[in-house]
């Protein structure tokens, strides 16, 4: 049994890459729902149905633990899936909490009351569905007080990345950062709240300037998964089989993935 990593498309590869670097011995099965990307413009019910189908496919592939390496799915579907109940022995984890714990200077699972933290002005860049869910602000409010969050829905960026049009993606990033900075001129921290956005991290940092600390979600999720597996070694499994699955066109998705990760990646039909 390997660990499953799910995203609407190729963005979750940023998390897979960090997990492989941090935990090189853990076999991973990646599933990109490229046929239905982007999720960020869909409503919450649709995102729930698509996410549920993806997670079930990864369970079928022998993964007991699935990471939703997609903020949109984590924001719109995770809580509802957990409330509806998961099959025995199966777990689904999202990508929000590790990032918010880092931002609020907390160790894993520190559930003490909210308190003041160093950062006061946080810029959140995410998909329209993630911004609309307000899940980031809700999780933050459990842990910190007095933090002002300005959220920018970054329409079009995921589509451009999925199409491999990095010039358009960069232009859109610049215009979304400008729009954010009109509302919050000096954010101390910026959260790239979509797993596709680390592929544009340099463009975000350049547009924000060097005074804004950009949080890298992929590394934080990888560290947090390492902690989780130490506490739950049974979720690690014994299989050594890693693979890449997509609901889209495997040849096309393989080309994009190889371009982004700068190593040969071969996707197969899910
Ligand atoms: N990578 C997904 C996320 O983290 C992108 C969502 C989409 O498909 O719009 O939100």
Q: What is the pLDDT of residues 210-269, one digit of tens each?
A: 999 998 789 999 999 999 999 888 887 555 678 999 999 999 999 999 999 999 999 999
CATH number of 3-94+218-269: 3.40.50.1860
Q: What does the mean pLDDT of the chain come to?
A: 93
pLDDT given at position 239: 58
pLDDT for position 238: 52
Residue pointed to by tokens 């989780």 = 228
| Per-residue pLDDT at 94 | 93
Distance 157 CA to ligand 1 centre (A): 10
List Cβ neighbours of 211 (8 Å cut-off, separation of 6 or more). Answer: 186, 188
How confident is the model at residue 234, as a pLDDT?
A: 81
- Domain definitions of the chain by residue range: 3-94+218-269, 97-216
Catalytic residues: 70, 194
pLDDT higher than threshold 80 for residue 58: yes
The strand pairing partners of 244, in sequence order, are: 30, 267
Percent of the chain at pLDDT exceeding 70: 98
**CA 146/CA 139 separation, integer angstroms:** 14
Structure token digits, residue 188: 């101390």
Contact by Cβ (8 Å): 212, 177: no
Torsion of CA 239, 242, 244, 245, to 10 degrees: -10
Based on its alpha-carbon atoms, the radius of gyration of the chain, rounded to whole angstroms, reads 18
Q: Which of 40, 43, 153 to mutate to test the pocket of ligand 1 (most atoms within 8 A of CB)?
A: 40
Q: Residue 113 C-alpha to ligand 1 middle, in angstroms?
A: 30
Which residue CA neighbors atom 2 of ligand 1 most closely? 70
* 236 C-beta closer than 6 A to ligand 1: no
Q: In b/e form, how buried is each residue of 252-264, taking b as 16+ CB within 10 angstroms?
A: ebbebbeebbeee
CATH placement of domain 97-216? 3.40.50.1860
Ligand 1 centroid distance, CA of 66 (Å): 16
Quickly tell me which residue has 């984590």 as its tokens. 74
Cα(234)–Cα(67) distance, rounded to whole angstroms?
16
Band of the pLDDT at 171, cuts 50, 70, 90? very high
- pLDDT tens-place string over residues 77-131: 999 999 999 999 999 999 988 899 989 988 877 889 999 999 999 999 999 999 9
> Do 3-94+218-269 and 97-216 come out as alike in CATH topology?
yes
Ligand 1 neighbourhood includes 70 CB (under 6 angstroms): yes
């Amino acid at each position: 049994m390997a660990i499953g990593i799910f995203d609407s498309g190729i963005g979750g590869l940023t998390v897979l890459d960090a997990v492989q670097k941090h935990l090189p011995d853990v076999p991973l099965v990646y599933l990109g729902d490229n046929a239905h990307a982007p999720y960020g413009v869909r409503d919450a019910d649709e995102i729930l149905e698509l996410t549920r189908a993806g997670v079930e496919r990864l369970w079928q592939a022998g993964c007991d633990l699935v990471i939703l390496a997609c903020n949109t799915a984590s924001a719109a579907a995770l809580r509802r899936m957990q409330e509806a109940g998961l099959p025995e022995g199966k777990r689904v984890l999202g990508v929000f909490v590790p990032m918010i714990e880092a931002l609020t200077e907390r160790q894993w699972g520190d559930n003490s009351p909210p308190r003041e933290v160093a950062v006061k002005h946080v810029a959140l860049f995410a998909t329209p569905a993630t911004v609309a869910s307000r899940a980031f602000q809700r999780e933050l409010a459990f842990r910190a007080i007095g933090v002002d969050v300005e959220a920018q829905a970054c329409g079009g960026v995921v589509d451009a990345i999925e199409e491999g049009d990095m010039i358009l993606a960069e232009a859109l990033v610049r215009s979304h950062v400008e729009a954010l900075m009109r509302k919050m001129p000096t954010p101390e921290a910026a959260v790239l709240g979509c797993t596709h956005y680390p592929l544009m991290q340099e463009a975000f940092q350049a547009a924000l300037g060097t005074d804004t600390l950009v949080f890298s979600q992929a590394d934080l999720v990888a560290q947090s998964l390492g902690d989780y597996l130490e506490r739950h070694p049974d979720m690690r499994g014994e299989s050594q089989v890693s693979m890449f699955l997509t609901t889209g066109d495997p040849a096309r998705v393989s080309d994009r993935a190889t371009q982004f990760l700068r190593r040969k990646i071969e996707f197969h039909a899910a």
